[in-house]
Amino acid sequence: MTDQPPLHLNKTMQKLLKIVLLYFALVGAALHFAIFAYGFHLYQQSGKPVNLFAHDLIVKVEKKAPALGHFMRIGLFSSGLLADPSIYLDAKLGFNLPRWNGIGANQLRRDTTPRYTIDGEPISLNQTTRFQIAPRPPLQQVTVNSTEALQKALSAANPGQEIVLAPGTYLVPAGMRLGAEASGTANTPIVLRGKAIDRVILKFQEGAGLDISGEYWAITDLVMRGICQANACPAPINVNHTASALQLRNLFASGFSLLASGNPAKGNGLIDGVTLVGGELTESRTGWRFAFNRHVLLPVLPDHFTRVCPGPDKPPECDTLRLDQALDNAQSGHLILLSTGIYRQAGTIRVDDMTILAEPGAHLTETAADGKGALVLQGENLLVEGLECSRVVVSSGNGACLRQDWGSFTLRGVHFHESQMGVLTGHKGGKVVIEDSFIHDSGRYQPGNYGHNVYTNSGELYFRRSWSLRAANQGHELKSRSRVTIIENSLLASINSEDSRIVDIPEGGELLIRDSLLGEGPFSSNWDIIGYGLEVNSAELPHQTNRILITGNTIVSDRFGTAQLLTAKNAQKIIVANNVIVGKTRDTWPGNSIFTNRESAGLPAYPGLYILPP
């Protein structure tokens, strides 16, 4: 057997082989580049942080090729190359909202338990640090579900007992007096409350009422209605001269000439966070303190007041079951009172100086007028108060709880959630005031164009003592094209939502953010926390005055990477000072307190809400 001679390639073959190898190398590089470019394009289109995009991609790969997906997870997350977003995705969002600071009764109040000083004096709901609160053991609950059971529970009450009315409507018939004779103490008061203010209604007929003669009683979280043949019923609460330290709080009362008759013996009664429609709170101010109450006067002309009920049956105290008809028939200066219940009705306001006042639990849902919103506003000086609204969806993708065509309005104590947008205004708007309100999860129920919680296109915007949380579908917590935008004493935060900027002021103007808390979450699709003037493409600015003042705020970034606190163009003056800034930010602003993470700033771990400034 002979050896084979070695294979020799001539120069032509060698060149050809090199060309082939180079070709495949270039094709391979081009293929890898194309794959990378396409992946980067998908990443940019997604608007997601890179580790969330990688996480979602791995989940998809794992479904078709588990081994490859597992290898990718190890290479990207277990190696520490990227922060694993799973712990943030799985975080429980059972956070408590800050104390509601609004006036009048409202279902947003989170804590209405009676509080007393160590000297036994009642403390208002909003006084959190002024007094030393007397220690108190847990109250013993007694739940009732009928008027008869309520009468028995009141007569058998003991110190430290809490009588809870189960959800429902309780009729106190004509002439029935409910006696409350037992006495509690500052440590062991006696409480009468509804399970939730938006689900418990006490109706009083002629001569019916609650007689309080004991000490240290608290009556809270109830809707109370007078249904008498005359214009108004007498006071539903009668205070005997032997009573003292009585607290009436978070009550919504209508149809009475007075809320309470008589005076506490020691002059230490407290009426706190009550909404009263018509009538007066008491005969005189002697013996009473008043805090954060809302007194709504009835129109002078009787036909300017309409009470709407949700149906299916019309109670005697109600005028109509149709909100849309009530709005169509309304006149300038009209007051519409929405009774507790679910309304799948919508309408348009076409007059000036009108008020829609909602009992706690009055809820517009899954409805829209004119393909725009649950309430469409076309008038000046309009007020919507206490209303809950949700799940407004229209074909244009801009379905809002409140849609303004033109005019000016105030929202007070409203709760808007899970619509395509919360508030959307037109290009002919005037002054917009949103105060003591909660707007959240816009774009989450059925996504539309963007899930902006608040979006104004003109006029002036004042956002005070309010919360805007978890805008979805890459929307903003607050977007304003108004010439003046003022945000004060408010909370605006992403939490775990895939939103965009927390505050976006695309056309500039005057921007003031003061004494508020802004929090950008880990899944925000935009690294800017605040954007300003970024949609102005011409040399001529839309507004004459363009300046920024951001002061006294706590600003937190939970992004996996760095965030930009403020990206601004076309501003004549910028002041960012006296803020607490927590997290990694690209831009630095002298005159602020900087912390690299929540722990170093003394804040609770994600997803806990942040500590509001005192």
pLDDT digits (tens, 9 = 90+) for 573-598: 999 999 999 999 999 899 999 999 99
Tell me the per-residue pLDDT of 321-347, one tens digit each, with 9 for 90 and over: 999 999 999 999 999 999 999 999 999
pTM for this predicted structure: 0.90
Rg of the chain taking only CA atoms, in angstroms: 30
Q: For residue 16, what pLDDT band results from cuts at 50, 70 and 90?
A: confident
Tokens linked to 424: 């959307």
- Which tokens sit at 12? 């032509």
Cis check for the bond before 447: say yes or no (omega within 30 of 0): no
Is residue 94 scored above 80 in pLDDT?
no
How far apart, in whole angstroms, are the C-alpha atoms of residue 548 and residue 546?
7
Whether residue 220 has pLDDT greater than 80: yes
Q: Which pair of structure tokens corresponds to residue 361?
A: 């639990």
Which helix (H) or strand (E) segment is 426 a member of? strand 421-435
Q: How far is CA 235 from CA 61, 242, 295, 565, in A?
A: 68, 18, 15, 54
Residue type present at position 218: A
Report whether pLDDT(614) > 60.
no
Select 140-294's CATH number: 2.160.20.10, 1.10.3080.10, 3.30.1490.20, 1.20.120.160. 2.160.20.10
SS (H, E, C) 278-333: CCEEECCCCCEEEECCEEECCCCCHHHEEEECCCCCCCCCCCECCHHHHHHHCCCC
Distance of alpha carbon 586 from alpha carbon 563, whole angstroms: 6
Which pLDDT band, with edges at 50, 70 and 90, does 603 fall under? very high
Contact in structure between 566 and 548 (CB atoms under 8 Å): yes
- The residue extents of the domains of the chain are 30-89, 140-294, 299-472, 502-519+527-614
pLDDT tens-digit profile of 366-399?
Answer: 999 999 999 999 999 999 999 999 999 999 999 9
> Does residue 48 register a pLDDT over 70?
no
What six digits make up the tokens of 546? 């363009």
Q: Tens digits of per-residue pLDDT, 188-209?
A: 999 999 999 999 999 999 999 9
Burial of 297: CB neighbours in 10 Å, binned 0-12, 13-18, 19+: exposed
Q: What's the burial of 9, exposed, middle or buried (CB within 10 Å: 0-12/13-18/19+)?
A: exposed
The three-state DSSP-derived secondary structure of 89-149 is HCCCCCCCCCCCCCCCCCCCCCCCCCCEECCCCECCCCCCCCCCECCCCCCEEEEECCHHH
State yes or no: pLDDT of 34 exceeds 70: no
Residue 323 CA to residue 329 CA, distance in Å, equals 10
pLDDT band for position 544 (cuts 50, 70, 90)? very high
